[in-house]
Amino acid sequence: MLAFLQQATGINIFIFYSNTLFTNLSNEVDLFTTNFTSGMMGITDFLFSVAGCVMLGYLGRKTILIYGNLVMAVSLIGLGFFTL
């Protein structure tokens, strides 16, 4: 169930379509800013994936899934709030 919830959050939409989303959210289309923001999302995703792999040995898979889902929920609620 935890693995299903992780995939059902929809965070992959923000990662794969970040250029389109940031272009549509801004009034002034600035290609550099859009690409920079998307790149920073990719770098952040990579760094936290590496950190998650390191923490897997210490905390275990179930603990990381539970806390990861909580952090994703808070992040998505914040992202939704700021896009309004």
The crossing angle, in degrees rounded to 10, of helices 18-25 and 31-59 is: 130
- pLDDT band for position 26 (cuts 50, 70, 90): low
Q: Give residues with Cβ within 8 angstroms of 15, minimum separation 6.
A: 41, 42, 45
pLDDT digits (tens, 9 = 90+) for 41-82: 889 989 988 998 899 889 988 888 888 888 888 888 898 888
Contact 37, 44 (CB under 8 A): no
What distance lies between CA 21 and its chain's CA centroid? 13
Q: Residue 30: helix, strand or coil by DSSP?
A: coil
